[in-house]
Amino acid sequence: MMKENKRTLIITSIITILPVFIGLFLWNRLPDTMATHFGFDNKADGFSSKGFAVVGVPLILLSIEWVGAIATSHDPKKNNISQKMFSFVLWIIPLLSLTVTSAMYSYNLGYETDMVFISGLIMGMVFVIVGNYLPKARQNFTIGIKIPWTLANEENWNHTHRLAGFMWVLGGILMIIGTLTGLMQETVMGVVVIVMVLIPCIYSYYLHVVKKL
């Protein structure tokens, strides 16, 4: 699968580390200690050295992209993973790298930056996109609700992912609405994510125990 997407992987890798060069260009203007994590009050609550923020963060994201790509390409059921979904997985990290580092640089340069708004929209949109894919996903060991009962029974997998797709789209929409209206808080977002993950898992177990799927 990596061979078929070699060009996309190279392009996305270059985009992922592009913020390193942007950071080096801005090096003398950036503070020696940079804010790299923010609370839901938009105040920085985590700090790193300039070197780690500029070089380390993009490289960590690059390693995550490659680990995901390698894991997917070695999946015993990789033929069940659509090319469209694999391409989407490859593009998530570079887009995240550009968005996160741009906001981080902007904040550390003294510009007013709403980190909660940016992260809320990104998470919401990702959940909506992935949620639209889940009902179409076939059994595999890399992408989807990978628990014993879904992996053991294809019908269980299909029922579970139809419900999960609905839950993820709904959860993503709630995140976007909450972000746009300013109602999304850390606790609320945590509850939304837990419900999105937990309900499909419980439903899958129900199908396994009661419906014998």
Q: What confidence tens digit (pLDDT) does each residue in 127-148 have? A: 999 999 999 999 999 889 999 9
Query: Rounded to whole angstroms, how far apart are CA atoms 184 and 117?
Result: 9
Q: Residue 43 to residues 23, 72, 191: CA-CA distances in angstroms? A: 22, 37, 22
Whether residues 18 and 99 share a domain: the answer is yes
Same domain? For 211 and 169 the reply is yes
Number of separate domains in the chain: 2
Residues 97 and 156 in one domain: no
Are residues 164 and 79 part of one domain? no
**pTM, to two decimals:** 0.85
Residues 171 and 203 in one domain: yes
Out of 76, 109, 142, a domain closes at 109
- DSSP 3-state of 113: coil
105 and 119 fall within a common domain: no
Query: Residue 1: what pLDDT?
Result: 64
Final residue of a domain: which of 85, 109, 133? 109
Among 92, 93, 97, 95, which residue's Cα sits nearest to residue 23?
97
Write out the residue range of the structural domain in which residue 90 sits: 1-109
- Quote the pLDDT of residue 113: 82
Q: Residue 128: in which H helix or E strand, if any?
A: helix 115-133
pLDDT digits (tens, 9 = 90+) for 46-83: 899 999 999 999 999 999 999 988 888 888 888 888 88
Distance separating alpha carbons of residues 24 and 138, to the nearest angstrom: 43
Whole-angstrom CA distances from 77 to 47, 74, 87, 138, 141 are 41, 8, 17, 9, 7
Among 109, 125, 148, the domain boundary falls at: 109
Tokens, residue 117: 């708004």
- For residues 1 and 102, membership in a common domain is answered with yes
